[in-house]
């Protein structure tokens, strides 16, 4: 009777271990598929290309920041004109200045977003180097 009980206990533990293993494999595959489906626009770039792109983006962002600061501090006063065509020309002049400021702001915002995505990719790759940690996160995270 004791051998039978011991055999049943071992069988139960084997089934339990098999279920835990199957759940771990399923969870690993699910997390791996989620990682692969995640939006990472710089996934295909090499490390050297990422570094070169980061440096180029920093230079570009500094130029755009200077351009935006110049455009943001410029104030345009609309003068009063007596004829309709002069009023239209004055409106267009003021409109051009505002458009220049908005365009500089949009370019700067786009550059910041690209820099953030690039930095996220660099952080992701730095974390990915520890293979054991990546394996355990994929296996155990829900």
Residue-wise pLDDT tens digits, 35-67: 888 888 998 899 899 999 999 999 999 999 998
The whole-number pLDDT of residue 7 equals 66
Q: Is residue 17 part of a domain?
A: no
Q: Is residue 32 part of a domain?
A: no
Residue 55 structural domain? 39-140
Q: Is residue 9 part of a domain?
A: no
Q: Is residue 16 part of a domain?
A: no
Q: Is residue 6 part of a domain?
A: no
Helix (H, G, I), strand (E, B) or coil at 27: helix
pTM beyond 0.85: no
Round to whole Å and give the CA distance between 84 and 92. 12
- Closest listed residue to residue 46, CA positions, set 112, 122, 134, 116: 122
- Number of separate domains in the chain: 1
Q: Is residue 80 part of a domain?
A: yes
Token pair of 89, please?
């020309």
Are 118 and 82 in contact by the 8 Å Cβ rule? The answer is no
Higher pLDDT, 93 or 77: 93
Q: Is residue 23 part of a domain?
A: no
Token pair of 3, please?
């051998």
Over the stretch 10-21, which tens digit does the pLDDT of each residue have? 888 889 999 999
- Closest listed residue to residue 120, CA positions, set 42, 24, 25, 66: 42
Cβ neighbour number for residue 94 with a 10 Å cutoff: 14
Q: How far is CA 22 from the centre of its chain?
A: 33
Q: Is residue 128 part of a domain?
A: yes
- Closest listed residue to residue 10, CA positions, set 69, 137, 2: 2
């Amino acid at each position: 009777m004791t051998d039978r009980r011991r055999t049943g206990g071992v069988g139960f533990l084997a089934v339990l271990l098999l279920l835990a293993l199957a759940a771990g494999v399923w969870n690993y595959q699910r997390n791996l598929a989620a990682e692969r489906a995640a939006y990472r626009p710089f996934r295909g770039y090499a490390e050297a290309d990422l570094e070169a792109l980061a440096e180029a983006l920093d230079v570009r962002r500094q130029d755009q920041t200077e351009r935006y600061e110049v455009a943001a501090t410029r104030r345009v006063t609309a003068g009063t004109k007596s004829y309709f065509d002069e009023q239209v020309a004055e409106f267009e002049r003021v409109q051009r200045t505002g458009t220049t400021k908005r365009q500089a702001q949009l370019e700067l915002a786009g550059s910041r977003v690209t820099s953030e995505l690039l930095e996220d990719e660099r952080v992701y790759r730095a974390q990915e180097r520890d293979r054991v940690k990546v394996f355990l996160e994929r296996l155990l995270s829900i």
